[in-house]
Amino acid sequence: MFRRSTQAVLGTASLVSVAYSQQVLDLGTVEWTLTSPNFSYISVPGKVPSQVHLDLQAAQVIGDPLYALNEFNLRWIPFSNWTYTSSPLDTLQKNASSTWLVFNGLDTFTSIDFCGQHVAATNNQFRQYYFDVSDILASCNSPGLSVNFGSAPIIANATRAIPGQETWPWGVQQLYEFPNREYIRKEQNDFGWDWGPAFAPAGIWKPAYIVQMPPQNVYVRNTLVDIYREGQHNFFPPDQSKDWVLNASVDYLGSLPSGAAVDYMISDADGSILQSGRLSNATTEDGMITGSTSVPEGAVELWWPVGYGQQQLYNLTLNVIDSWNTTVATVKKRIGFRTIFNNQTPVLQEQLDKGVAPGNNWHFEINGHEFYAKGSNFIPPDPFWPSVTESRLRVLFDSVIDGNQNMLRVWSSGAYSPDFMYDLADEMGILLWSEFEFGCALYPVNEEFLENAAHEVEYQVRRVNHHPSLAYWAGGNELENLELPTVNKTAPEEYPRYLAEYEKLFLDTIAPIVLGNTKSISYSPSSTTNGWLSLDFSKVQPITQRYKNLTEGSIYGNTDFYNYNSSQLGNFSRYPIGRFANEFGFHSMPSLQSWQQVVAPEDLHFNSSVIMLRDHHPPAGSLNASNFYNTSIGQGQMTMAAQEWYPVPNKTDSVANFSAWCHTTQIFQADFYKSQIEFYRRGSALPERQLGSLYWQLEDQWQAPTWAGIEYDGRWKVLHYVAKDIYSPVIISAYRNVTNNDFEIWVISDLWSSISASVNLTWYDWSGKQLNISTDAASNVTVGAINGTQVLSTNLDTLLQGQDTTNTLLRMDVSAQGSLPNSNVTKTFTHTNWFHPAPLSSANLADPGLELSRKDETFTVKATSGVAAFVWLDYPRGVVLSFDDNGFWLAAGEEKKVGYKVKSDSTDRRWRDEVTVRSLWNNTLAEGY
Ligand code: BMA
């Protein structure tokens, strides 16, 4: 018997047939043809992994799907069936003991044929599928594979039409473009969303393999690694003095030799072995071999998110061995040792004693420390995932880090993140709150749907659990705060039934799978939630949710806030008070440079059909490709915001005017988010003990008006710069009660030790003249760990009596000594902020006389004759970069040196001569941008 195995991924060219050794044929290395039964004239090269749109574009059958209104023009693609046919797979071994097809992702409805024989049908984009085709191969002369994709929109409609199929009261299911997404397990935003197009793509979207094995040999298809403190539980704070448990579980295909065991080795980046041995308590069941070991507390360095310490990673090698100690299969995973805990426990007496409001906590704790989560919501960065490369994500994540963000909520109606995304987050220290792909809808709970979802959840939970960046699992998007309340409102008599169905999927089905596989990650059924009410571990499913079971005066859960009435900017009484803000936002236009990528010059103006119809907020709600009514609502919200709060552009040149308007919508967006982040961060010092702010949304997946802070090609909007500033560890901020003009200034810090801060308040007019307004603000204050200190409390009517508020400005500066968490190096933290008592639309702006110069790699901007609001360094198309600072204010006479980081450049550095500078003052000028 031949026992030794090589588990190599071989391409066609290099596939050498050696009897009885395991061979893995990467189906990305064979030739594919893409055809459609609906279009006999289309036959083009296909790729794996890929999607039909991408392959048709590469073959020039279609143009860029993102261009202009191609979204609507390309609907014939998802309404058709498509077939990927491989070239003959002649290199497959005839004498293998078993042959398997392994697909890491099929999008979505397939019928698979091998050697001309039907193998299986699939219906879930998020599952890994594997099929034993040994018998088919045995009787096959010329092996070949064909994967036939059915039309997802047509199948979704047909599924909806099945007699007895579940339906929901009107208004519960959010409808974007293609209907019935909730009946199928496909990326939900493929059917349209309010920030994205509806392409409903199809294809073999993840790597696929043909695995051939000798007898008593295994192929590892997935691996779970769970690292937790002894006794740790998903719902309670881990004891940091305990040793670590490392539990590993290998999912394999093939047959495990009798007496199999798993040896492990933990090594550091230099290859030094920290610990090795055999996993104990090994069990083998259902194609899975599982065991565990213990790693003493203190034997390994902790992994920390960015800003809190190092991102220490180790290499784990698992060798599945037989009873002769021969390795049958090897798995390598990069791991980290950390505890990340989502705390929803009741507020304790010791917290109450410190002024925390009663109720329950809702925050994260890293390695036993609570911390302030700063970040945003991540959406699929492209409508076509196969186009999302590691290098593209690295550029995006670099901006996350540069933007002072430490957590992303990976929103739940896209796709499960690829491993390389978690790998990057592990390296860079970005915590990824992850979710199951259900959102803005309730879902069917027939047996078939539940079973399908269960497979998906199990595969995904096990696949990503070893990543230290994995922070949390949530069931779905806004189900508890939006979908369930909508049922309650529109069909209260049916509420109990729909609630029971919701719990069947998110509690009875998903929770036991999560809790059964990981002890290190907390789970909640809905992203926005009031948290759990009680836990009963005598049940398989221990969670009872709180829902509206609230006690007055108590605070629970996290918050979600969207208000498209732009007059609410700065009205703190309307912002939600909770323990954590996981979504909030307002949309803005992308820059002119982004529009120019996809819009013809003659369409670059408001009211052009292309600009209007790329605005999907509010969504069309159907396949009507010219819903100007809805789109004008979204455009109107941005226009009203600009008009209410800023001088509005009225430029002679129509493109310049369009560009200035786009930019002004970005300023409003940034202002609105800033005031909310300031509000949430101050909450860390108030009874709500607010410990997180994740705004909607990090980035774009096409060039369109959206909530994003980063445009499709990586260009930062005003928001990303302003968020970077207000996510600084130490900030100074003003809070005005818009009803009675009470006015406060606070210094807020999310550092883990207290800081001593000195504060400077200076009043100016717009020309830069200092005003003689005195306050009794404290000039030296101490700010506790993750806390805030009020430095001024007054009333603006009294303070500014007799002043022309349209020509009054306050500059606030703080400078503090402190140290970063897990560091004893003393650092100076500074922050500057401005407050204007009158809206900028009625402010008496003065020409700041901005001057821009460049020496080597540094730009210098100077305001020579007045205060400059929202100074904006702009750069041309052809380059994507981020400035170290942008969207800032300058006092009269002040200059700022600004460096930059280039992300991509096709101008041969000529862009440096085309950088321009403007400020809000330029909105008042007829000429220029
Ligand atoms: C929330 C999100 C998304 C949506 C966004 C903007 O509802 O969860 O579903 O895109 O707001 O409307």
Q: What is the Å distance from ligand 1's center to 848 Cα? A: 38
Residue 680 scores a pLDDT above 50: yes
Measure the CA–CA gap between 711 and 703, rounded to whole angstroms: 7
For ligand 1, mutation pick of 435, 583, 587 (most atoms within 8 Å of CB): 583
In tens, the pLDDT along 558-588 reads 999 999 999 999 999 999 999 999 999 999 9
Catalytic residue among 177, 458, 478, 894: 478
Q: What is the mean pLDDT of residues 405-419?
A: 98
Buried/exposed 358-373: b ≥16 CB within 10 Å, e otherwise: ebbbbbbbbbebbbbb
Report the amino acid identity of residue 10.
L
Atom number of ligand 1 nearest to Cα 560: 1
Unique residue bearing structure tokens 């792909």 = 437
The DSSP result for 619-671, as a single string, is: --SSS-TT-HHHHHHHHHHHHHHHHHHSPPP--SSHHHHHHHHHHHHHHHHHH
Atom number of ligand 1 nearest to Cα 587: 6
The three-state secondary structure class of 71 is helix
**For residue 618, cis peptide bond before it (omega within 30 degrees of 0):** yes
Q: What is the Å distance from ligand 1's center to 180 Cα? A: 18
Q: What is the Å distance from ligand 1's center to 579 Cα? A: 20
Q: What is the mean pLDDT of residues 892-918?
A: 98
Q: Are strands 780-783 and 129-132 parallel, antiparallel or unpaired?
A: unpaired
Q: How confident is the model at residue 875 (pLDDT cuts 50, 70, 90)?
A: very high
Q: How confident is the model at residue 9 (pLDDT cuts 50, 70, 90)?
A: very low
**Ligand 1 pocket, Cβ-based, cut-off 6 angstroms:** 193-195, 440, 477-478, 562, 583, 696, 707
The overall average pLDDT reported for the chain is: 96
Percent of the chain with pLDDT over 70: 98
Can you say whether residue 200 is alpha, beta or left, with left for phi > 0 and alpha for psi between -120 and 50 degrees? left
Model pLDDT, residue 621? 97
Q: What is the Å distance from ligand 1's center to 527 Cα? A: 12
Burial class, 413, CB count within 10 angstroms (exposed 0-12 / middle 13-18 / buried 19+): buried
**For residue 108, cis peptide bond before it (omega within 30 degrees of 0):** yes
Contacts of residue 635, defined as CB under 8 A and 6 or more positions apart, other chains included, come to 606, 612, 615, 705
For ligand 1, mutation pick of 175, 191, 433, 440 (most atoms within 8 Å of CB): 440
Atom number of ligand 1 nearest to Cα 707: 6
Measure the CA–CA gap between 401 and 392, rounded to whole angstroms: 15
Atom number of ligand 1 nearest to Cα 478: 8
Torsion angle of C-alpha atoms 301, 304, 307, 310, degrees rounded to 10: 30
Q: How confident is the model at residue 5 (pLDDT cuts 50, 70, 90)?
A: very low
Model pLDDT, residue 389? 98
Q: What is the Å distance from ligand 1's center to 663 Cα? A: 22
Buried/exposed 8-47: b ≥16 CB within 10 Å, e otherwise: eebeeeebeeeebbbbbbbbbebebebbbeeeeeeebebb
Q: Considering only CA atoms, which residue is closest to atom 8 of ligand 1?
A: 477
Model pLDDT, residue 20? 63
Q: What is the Å distance from ligand 1's center to 486 Cα? A: 16
Atom number of ligand 1 nearest to Cα 195: 10
State yes or no: is 478 an active-site residue. yes
Atom number of ligand 1 nearest to Cα 527: 8
pTM of the complete model beyond 0.85:
yes
CB-CB neighbours of 408 under 10 Å: 28
Atom number of ligand 1 nearest to Cα 440: 9
Q: What is the Å distance from ligand 1's center to 480 Cα? A: 14
Atom number of ligand 1 nearest to Cα 413: 9
Q: What is the Å distance from ligand 1's center to 756 Cα? A: 40
Q: How is residue 739 written in tokens?
A: 């009803």
Torsion angle of C-alpha atoms 154, 111, 254, 98, degrees rounded to 10: -170
Helices 447-464 and 419-428 pack at an angle, to 10 degrees, of: 40
Distances (CA, A) of 255 to 280, 284, 411, 780: 21, 11, 38, 71
Q: What is the Å distance from ligand 1's center to 563 Cα? A: 12
Report the amino acid identity of residue 277.
G
Give the DSSP H or E segment for 798.
helix 796-799
Q: Are strands 888-890 and 543-545 parallel, antiparallel or unpaired?
A: unpaired
The DSSP result for 456-478, as a single string, is: HHHHHHHHHTT-TTEEEEEEEBS
Q: How confident is the model at residue 837 (pLDDT cuts 50, 70, 90)?
A: very high
In tens, the pLDDT along 421-450 reads 999 999 999 999 999 999 999 999 999 999
In tens, the pLDDT along 137-165 reads 999 999 999 999 999 999 999 999 999 99
Model pLDDT, residue 894? 98
* Structural domains of the chain in order of their starting residue, each with its CATH number: 23-211 (2.60.120.260), 218-335 (2.60.40.10), 728-844 (2.60.40.10), 850-924 (2.60.40.10)
CA 524 to chain centre: 17
Q: How is residue 468 written in tokens?
A: 């230290």
List, in sequence order, every residue forming a beta bridge with 133; answer none if it has no partner: none
In tens, the pLDDT along 313-345 reads 999 999 999 999 999 999 999 999 999 999 999
Name the nearest CA neighbour of 596 among 703, 709, 702, 700. 703
HSE-CB for 393 with a 13 A CA cutoff: 23
In tens, the pLDDT along 79-101 reads 999 999 999 999 999 999 999 99
Q: What is the Å distance from ligand 1's center to 523 Cα? A: 21
Atom number of ligand 1 nearest to Cα 194: 10
Helices 510-517 and 447-464 pack at an angle, to 10 degrees, of: 20
Give the DSSP H or E segment for 795.
strand 787-795
Q: Considering only CA atoms, which residue is closest to atom 4 of ligand 1?
A: 194
Residue 129 scores a pLDDT above 50: yes
List, in sequence order, every residue forming a beta bridge with 110; answer none if it has no partner: 122, 149
The three-state secondary structure class of 597 is helix
Residue 6 scores a pLDDT above 70: no
Q: Considering only CA atoms, which residue is closest to atom 10 of ligand 1?
A: 194
Q: List the end-to-end C-alpha distance of the chain, in Å, as a whole number.
A: 77
Model pLDDT, residue 929? 83
The three-state secondary structure class of 332 is strand
Residue 19 scores a pLDDT above 90: no
Atom number of ligand 1 nearest to Cα 193: 10
Q: What is the Å distance from ligand 1's center to 696 Cα? A: 7
Helices 654-682 and 718-726 pack at an angle, to 10 degrees, of: 20
Q: Residue 287: what are its φ and ψ, rounded to 5°? A: 70, 30
Q: What is the CA radius of gyration of the chain?
A: 29
Looking at residue 482, the DSSP 8-state letter turns out to be: I
Q: What is the Å distance from ligand 1's center to 712 Cα? A: 18
Atom number of ligand 1 nearest to Cα 562: 11
Residue 17 scores a pLDDT above 90: no
Q: What is the Å distance from ligand 1's center to 510 Cα? A: 23
For ligand 1, mutation pick of 174, 177, 190, 194 (most atoms within 8 Å of CB): 194
Q: What is the Å distance from ligand 1's center to 225 Cα? A: 32
CA 446 to chain centre: 30
List, in sequence order, every residue forming a beta bridge with 476; answer none if it has no partner: 526
Q: Considering only CA atoms, which residue is closest to atom 12 of ligand 1?
A: 194
Name the nearest CA neighbour of 778 among 796, 754, 802, 794. 794
For ligand 1, mutation pick of 586, 637, 696 (most atoms within 8 Å of CB): 696
Q: Considering only CA atoms, which residue is closest to atom 9 of ligand 1?
A: 440
Q: What is the Å distance from ligand 1's center to 173 Cα? A: 13
